Structure 1
Amino acid sequence: MQRAQRNSLRLLQWMMAASLALPIALFAVAAAISYTSTKDTADREIERTVDVAHEHALKVFETIDRSLAELNEVVRGLPDDVIRAREPTLHRRLKRLSDSLPQLKSAWIFDANGKALVNSLVSPPPDLSFADRDYFYAHVDQSIGTFIGTALTPRPPYQGARFFGVSRRRESDDGRFIGVIQASVLPEYFESFYARIGSDPGSFLAMGRTDGAMLTHFPRLDHELRLDPTGPVGQKIAAQPQHGLITVAWPSDGIERRIAYRRVAEYPIYVSAGLETSAIRARWLATIGQHLVFGIPATALLFLLLALALRRTQHLQAEAAKRREAEEALKHSQRLEALGQLTGGVAHDFNNLLTVIRASVDLLNRPQLTEERRQRYITAIADSVARAAKLTSQLLAFARRQTLKPEVFDVGARVQSLHDMLATLLGPAIEIVMQLPAEPCLVNADASQFETALINMATNARDAMQGQGRIVFKVEATTAVPDTLASTGPGMAGHGFVRVTVSDTGVGIPAARLGRIFEPFFTTKQVGHGTGLGLSQVFGFARQSGGEVTVTSEVGRGSTFSLYLPRVPPDLLPQRQAPNTAPAVAGSGMSVLVVEDNIELANFAADGLTELGYSITLIDNATDALAELVVDADRFDVVFSDVVMPGMTGLDLAQAIRDRSIGVPVVLTTGYSQALSQEGVAGFDLVQKPYSIEELSRVLHRAARIRRVRDGAAE
């Protein structure tokens, strides 16, 4: 930081020395940037203008095309003498058409010799031949669809403005040429439109055919414009025939213009819009002139300002250093406060649990203790350990580091089974309403964690209502999920989601707090009255299960929490879990290799299993355990290993046993493992810490029994 400050002071000194040269350089850079910006702005304006002109031309020609098609249908199959007989009626129809379309001067129906059968100008039409007009003879030899001719002057006795023809071939049923239907289009109609959209100085708009003949342009020029398709401009257009933006000197007047062109759909017509490059430069010079107005006085004051800046910079750097120190101190204080709030709540809950355990141990040591009181104190210790494990599980749930035990269960049935417990938990002053679906809503998730999440949401709702109000629990299947689940893979949400909503009539959550309610560091309770981990557990459980949790709330109107879990197919029935209250299983001499780096925990497991009749071998690291198995694996019936150990982990040990085809089953245990939370147990049995000797004996016995059954089948 000090080096940067010295560099800034040195820079100011150099700027004072270069106070005359710098404005000139800055002006040159600004002029170059301004010129580029002015050109870019002009290009955007030109492209917008040509887009407008294109849409206008497209609508005009499509309208005329439809009108000609309708006229062709009216006279289709009619002989010329029938058309002449109906001439008054057809004349009125053509006149209505030309009067309704301001772009039309007249409409005509010609016979095969170029004589008008009907037109919109006079009735009956004079006996004149128009076979020499391009809009007629272009159709004689072949069918070319809609033809757009060049600009023409009316032939006497007809008078008026110049026009260009849009015509279509009349054919008999066998495809013979029998005449032409033609509309005379006024170029001045386009010119008046171009005058409205091209009001800027130097503007230029034109419409021409693909062969280079100009039909109309704005502004009007004294001479006729024509573009040579083989010339430089025509070659540039041919390179990009649909649309483009080019700078050209127009051959007819020699004026350089920036031109954008675009072809009108399938018609052989181009529309173009542009600005004279001199007009673009005039805009740039006007901008530069504004810079000079401010630049010249600024140059005169620059030296004085730099001198003042040097002095002020020294002062500001000193102030900035003090401010940074204050900000760092504040951030450190906030982090400590947040950490203190979390640890205070956790310590409060753990101290309560430890107090119960310590008091129970002290009471167990008293002489002449009755069996009933001894059992009560043992039960209190077991309950406290269970609550401590639950608190640890909440911490791991938010961090998404717990190892879940997914099972398929019906969410509606599970919520219904919790009704009585929720009624007791929430109290008699809170009305509970359950809206459950008739059909099963199955999910594959950790049922215990799901129940904990539901209880946490219910407890949060109870606190928000201050123990009195109404809570609605609703379960439903849904395909509409929050935006945050847009990135969920198809395997996770292939069957939709099950949504569990908990709605209360509490005080609501201010909008400023909605973004923080799932943070473990955030709680509205007083220090020492909670850890703030309830909703954090819901958040972690939802995310680790492939779902999401959202909240909507309005102050004074209550809150609604929605838990989304991926739904599984309805043909999967819920799996029943074995009860955890089964008695311990005797070892009967079963040999167990215990791999545990914590010697106290290892001795606890070894003592408990030894009392049940197991033969125990203790090793404190996975490397030595693997070496022992390689030498003589038949000594052991099962391996029981901790996951988190220095060096080779228990999961690595289990994988190595599997890779070496050592036929000894492996049971893993852990209280926290990032690897297991992300990758799972890879098919190995798992016992969560804290565990009981009874639970451990059941898992070991089951693993060994599965091995014996497998070995017997192999024989």
Structure 2
Amino acid sequence: MQGAQRNSLRLLQWMMAASLALPIALFVFTSTISYTSTKDIADREIERTLDVAHEHALKVFETIDRSLAELNEVVRGLPDEIIRSREPALHRRLKRLTDALPQLKSAWIFDANGKSLVNSLASPPQDLSFADRDYFYAHVDQNIGTFVGAALTPRPPYQGARFFGMSRRRETDDGSFIGVIQASVLPEYFESFYARIGSDPGSFFAMGRTDGVVLTHFPRLDRDFRLDPTGPVGQQIAAHPEHGLITIAWPSDGIERRVGYRRVAEYPIYVSAGLETSAIRARWLATMGQHLVFGIPATALLFLLLALAFRRTQHLHAEATARREAEEALKHSQRLEALGQLTGGVAHDFNNLLTVIRASVDLLNRPQLSEERRQRYINAIADAVARAAKLTSQLLAFARRQTLKPEVFDVGERMQSLHDMLATLLGPAIEIGIRLPAQPCLVKADAGQFETALINMATNARDAMQGKGRITFAVQAAATIPDTLVHVSGSHDLAGGDGLVSVAVSDTGIGIPAARLGRIFEPFFTTKQVGQGTGLGLSQVFGFARQSGGEVTVESEVGQGSTFSLYLPRVPTDLLPQRQAPNTAPAVAGSGMSVLLVEDNIELANFAADGLTELGYSITLVDNATDALAELTMDAERFDVVFSDVVMPGMTGLDLAQAIRDRGIRVPIVLTTGYSQALSQDGAAGFDLVQKPYSIEELSRVLHRAARLRPVRDGAAE
């Protein structure tokens, strides 16, 4: 019961842990999938945004490139003097061009020395040289097509926003360098466009040249910077020059971003778009937060319900424990009450027996006692001893502490042999009916205790009928005990692998009230008047049944009689031993047989030694097993048999016998006991056993039989 309670509490604890662990595990699993999905969605958004940024940049660069090509056609083949003479008209044309293209700040036509021939900003132009600008000197040595320069600050007196130049080489028909046509492009134009398409938190855009020079950046930077070609971005671009997608801490501000890049057609320009990884995580956290809004209350509610169930179960278990403790206390008090009844009953019966013995001894001590009276007193003592032995046997049988002598016998045959004795015991007013099976029903049990149990059940039935009625004895084979029967002695596993044998004793008496069924097997419990019964009869039946691996049940109804059923394990018929004639031989003379007698009770030891000595045995007496083992170790050959008590202080007789076996001392061993816990559980371990109280005649026969079976001593004469 306590194990089941602990298991139920442990189960609730596991359920409480699971109510947290499983949602957490599910949340972690879902979070992982959700984070991967969020990243995939972010990558697709970056790719779409990058497509827009790339298309925009391509159109801007293509438009400016076409405008430069048109300007170049306008001034192709014209000397610088003709261009200066047409400067007002060309100025207006350049101004219309810049006004039409918001991405342009200005447009310029330079001579071979870097001086402005025409520009869209001022007319006439300032006499300044721009030969040191990258958009100019990049074309001096060779024709490189369209050049995109770095971001620059306007040179005074010109003012305004920063720009980067797009330029083409002016050359003669023979390929000689005569100047440059240039357009100043506004980075803020791209920044404005990026601000419009990058409205999501954490959006990022950049545009730069293939050598790492950054032209524009969103969010806007307060300084110019250049990407290291050997750094992570440069290495990624070198590995995948057309396009790619990377996660990196951007060098300009150190913020980690997920960035996609793509080259703008044939131009030496890359555009990139991305999102801050913190913004991606924020999206993921927002999604998971929606799950938590529902998940946390549900999990908390489930955990709370399980916690309440756990506390309620603990409370119920505490109540059950308290109730069980109260029941144990009640049972303990009942056991104490039974112990008091047992003590009083034993004291009463033994005092009666001791009174008979004491009175007989006193009478035997009187002088001039006739032989007839002396024999009568001796018989009275012997009868009292036999009754005391029977009482002790009944007590041990009830306690399941008696060393039984099991043998295989036919229950039906034994019942038939008891018919005459039962008829005498029950009296002429009791009608006896016996129903026996056609096939043998064999059991392995103590035959004497079986007969005692049968007599006790018969006597109990006779008393229930007040000496008049019918008692039926029925023997039959049974597979199991019917569920309808009341197992007054409690349920336990039966040892009947071949089925059971049932011995039922039914009477036509007054029956047993249901309130008393639970106590009828208690020792000294009886409803009879004082002096008419000890209350040990049914307790002996209970003890014998349990110690023999069986069961005893009862069916009773007030006014309709009772049926007591004794169930014993059935054994196969091939185990029935051959019949032997009863042994009625008298005491066997010792003829000098040497006996090592081990007994710690000095009075009993002297009694056994004196009796065996009178029969011609040679006795060596020791009072403990250690001294006996020393005697055998010194010279075992001088002893024909060892006779030892089982219950002794220190080393027991069973330990002594086992030690003699273990040391290879080949001396027969006979044990004796009135009660032994070890023998009642494990048997005599193959040694001969004499039950106390024993007679000298019985002892002499057992010793002689054991010594006669001893192997011939080594070197002994024939």
Q: Specify whether residues 387 and 580 from structure 1 end up closer, same or farther in structure 2 by C-alpha distance, changes over 3 A only.
A: farther
SS at match of 1:641: strand
**1:402–1:673 contact (8 Å) kept in structure 2:** yes
**Shift of the alpha carbon at 1:585?**
0.5
- Matched residues in 2 for 1:419 and 1:710: separation? 50
**Shift of the alpha carbon at 1:538?**
0.9
SS at match of 2:661: helix
Q: Is residue 623 of structure 1 aligned with residue 630 of structure 2?
A: no
- Matched residues in 1 for 2:328 and 2:538: separation? 30
What corresponds to 2:351 in structure 1? 351
What corresponds to 2:599 in structure 1? 596
Letter in 2 for 1:341: Q
**Shift of the alpha carbon at 1:529?**
4.7
**2:338–2:522 contact (8 Å) kept in structure 1:** no
- Matched residues in 2 for 1:538 and 1:698: separation? 31
Q: Is residue 682 of structure 1 aligned with residue 685 of structure 2?
A: yes
**Shift of the alpha carbon at 1:567?**
1.1
What corresponds to 2:643 in structure 1? 640
**1:346–1:531 contact (8 Å) kept in structure 2:** no
What corresponds to 2:392 in structure 1? 392
**1:399–1:540 contact (8 Å) kept in structure 2:** yes
Q: Deviations over 1:670-697 (max 9, x none)?
A: 0000000000001100000000000000
**1:441–1:477 contact (8 Å) kept in structure 2:** yes
Q: Specify whether residues 498 and 703 from structure 1 end up closer, same or farther in structure 2 by C-alpha distance, changes over 3 A only.
A: same
Q: How does 1:335-374 map to 2 (within 5 A)?
A: 337-374=337-374
SS at match of 2:709: helix
**Shift of the alpha carbon at 1:512?**
1.8
What corresponds to 1:376 in structure 2? 376
SS at match of 1:474: strand
**Shift of the alpha carbon at 1:637?**
0.4
Q: Deviations over 1:25-81 (max 9, x none)?
A: xxxxxxxx9xx9xxxxxxxxxxxxxxxxxxxxxxxxxxxxxxxxxxxxxxxxxxxxx
Q: Is residue 442 of structure 1 aligned with residue 442 of structure 2?
A: yes
Q: How does 1:219-368 map to 2 (within 5 A)?
A: 337-368=337-368
Letter in 2 for 1:471: I
- Greater mean alpha carbon deviation, residues 332-341 or residues 619-628: 332-341
SS at match of 2:686: coil
**1:667–1:687 contact (8 Å) kept in structure 2:** yes
Q: Is residue 537 of structure 1 aligned with residue 540 of structure 2?
A: yes
**Shift of the alpha carbon at 1:617?**
0.5
Q: Specify whether residues 584 and 327 from structure 1 end up closer, same or farther in structure 2 by C-alpha distance, changes over 3 A only.
A: closer
Q: How does 1:490-509 map to 2 (within 5 A)?
A: 492-509=495-512
Q: Deviations over 1:418-468 (max 9, x none)?
A: 111111111111111111112211111110000000011111111111111
**1:643–1:670 contact (8 Å) kept in structure 2:** yes
What corresponds to 1:670 in structure 2? 673
Q: Is residue 564 of structure 1 aligned with residue 564 of structure 2?
A: no
Q: Deviations over 1:587-638 (max 9, x none)?
A: 0000000000000000000000000000001000001101110110011000
- Matched residues in 2 for 1:519 and 1:575: separation? 39
Q: Deviations over 1:653-684 (max 9, x none)?
A: 00111111111100000000000000000110
**1:595–1:625 contact (8 Å) kept in structure 2:** yes
Q: How does 1:541-556 map to 2 (within 5 A)?
A: 541-556=544-559
TM-score of the superposition, structure 2-length normalised? Answer: 0.52
What corresponds to 1:420 in structure 2? 420
Letter in 2 for 1:597: D
Letter in 1 for 2:383: D
Q: How does 1:469-548 map to 2 (within 5 A)?
A: 469-481=469-481, 488=493, 492-520=495-523, 522-526=525-529, 529-548=532-551
What corresponds to 1:463 in structure 2? 463
**1:580–1:695 contact (8 Å) kept in structure 2:** no
Which among 689, 696, 701 is matched to residue 693 of structure 1? Answer: 696
What corresponds to 1:164 in structure 2? none
SS at match of 2:574: coil
SS at match of 2:710: helix
- Matched residues in 2 for 1:562 and 1:595: separation? 43
Q: Deviations over 1:246-267 (max 9, x none)?
A: xxxxxxxxxx99xxxxxxxxxx
SS at match of 1:542: helix
Q: Specify whether residues 573 and 583 from structure 1 end up closer, same or farther in structure 2 by C-alpha distance, changes over 3 A only.
A: same
Q: Specify whether residues 426 and 487 from structure 1 end up closer, same or farther in structure 2 by C-alpha distance, changes over 3 A only.
A: closer
Q: Identity over aligned residues, as a percent?
A: 85
Q: Deviations over 1:237-291 (max 9, x none)?
A: xxxxxxxxxxxxxxxxxxx99xxxxxxxxxxxxxxxxxxx89x98xx99x99xx9
**Shift of the alpha carbon at 1:412?**
0.6
Q: Deviations over 1:366-412 (max 9, x none)?
A: 33333333223222221211111110011110111111111111111
- Matched residues in 1 for 2:641 and 2:537: separation? 38
SS at match of 1:395: helix
- Matched residues in 2 for 1:452 and 1:590: separation? 37
- Matched residues in 1 for 2:569 and 2:714: separation? 38
**2:338–2:523 contact (8 Å) kept in structure 1:** no
SS at match of 1:531: coil
**1:344–1:527 contact (8 Å) kept in structure 2:** no
SS at match of 1:571: helix
- Matched residues in 1 for 2:581 and 2:613: separation? 25
**1:348–1:528 contact (8 Å) kept in structure 2:** no
Unpaired segments ≥5 residues, structure 1? 1-32, 37-255, 258-276, 292-325
Q: Specify whether residues 429 and 555 from structure 1 end up closer, same or farther in structure 2 by C-alpha distance, changes over 3 A only.
A: same
**2:345–2:524 contact (8 Å) kept in structure 1:** no
Letter in 2 for 1:503: S
Q: Is residue 607 of structure 1 aligned with residue 575 of structure 2?
A: no
Q: Specify whether residues 541 and 600 from structure 1 end up closer, same or farther in structure 2 by C-alpha distance, changes over 3 A only.
A: same
**2:594–2:640 contact (8 Å) kept in structure 1:** yes
Q: Specify whether residues 330 and 673 from structure 1 end up closer, same or farther in structure 2 by C-alpha distance, changes over 3 A only.
A: closer
Q: Specify whether residues 551 and 575 from structure 1 end up closer, same or farther in structure 2 by C-alpha distance, changes over 3 A only.
A: farther
- Matched residues in 1 for 2:717 and 2:579: separation? 29
SS at match of 1:538: helix
- Greater mean alpha carbon deviation, residues 339-348 or residues 507-516: 339-348
Q: Specify whether residues 327 and 505 from structure 1 end up closer, same or farther in structure 2 by C-alpha distance, changes over 3 A only.
A: closer
Taking only aligned residues, the RMSD between alpha carbons, in angstroms, comes to 3.9
What corresponds to 1:157 in structure 2? none
- Matched residues in 2 for 1:518 and 1:666: separation? 38
- Greater mean alpha carbon deviation, residues 693-702 or residues 475-484: 475-484
Letter in 2 for 1:428: P
Q: Specify whether residues 458 and 574 from structure 1 end up closer, same or farther in structure 2 by C-alpha distance, changes over 3 A only.
A: farther
- Matched residues in 2 for 1:577 and 1:369: separation? 43
TM-score of the superposition, structure 1-length normalised? Answer: 0.52
**1:594–1:639 contact (8 Å) kept in structure 2:** yes
Unpaired segments ≥5 residues, structure 2? 1-15, 20-289, 309-325
Letter in 2 for 1:463: D
SS at match of 1:503: strand
- Matched residues in 1 for 2:610 and 2:681: separation? 33
Paired positions, count? 412
Q: Specify whether residues 710 and 498 from structure 1 end up closer, same or farther in structure 2 by C-alpha distance, changes over 3 A only.
A: farther
**1:410–1:441 contact (8 Å) kept in structure 2:** yes
Q: Specify whether residues 713 and 395 from structure 1 end up closer, same or farther in structure 2 by C-alpha distance, changes over 3 A only.
A: farther
Q: Specify whether residues 394 and 328 from structure 1 end up closer, same or farther in structure 2 by C-alpha distance, changes over 3 A only.
A: closer
**Shift of the alpha carbon at 1:333?**
7.4
- Matched residues in 2 for 1:611 and 1:364: separation? 22
Letter in 2 for 1:619: V
**Shift of the alpha carbon at 1:572?**
2.5
- Matched residues in 1 for 2:642 and 2:499: separation? 41
**1:584–1:693 contact (8 Å) kept in structure 2:** yes
Q: How does 1:95-134 map to 2 (within 5 A)?
A: none
What corresponds to 2:225 in structure 1? none
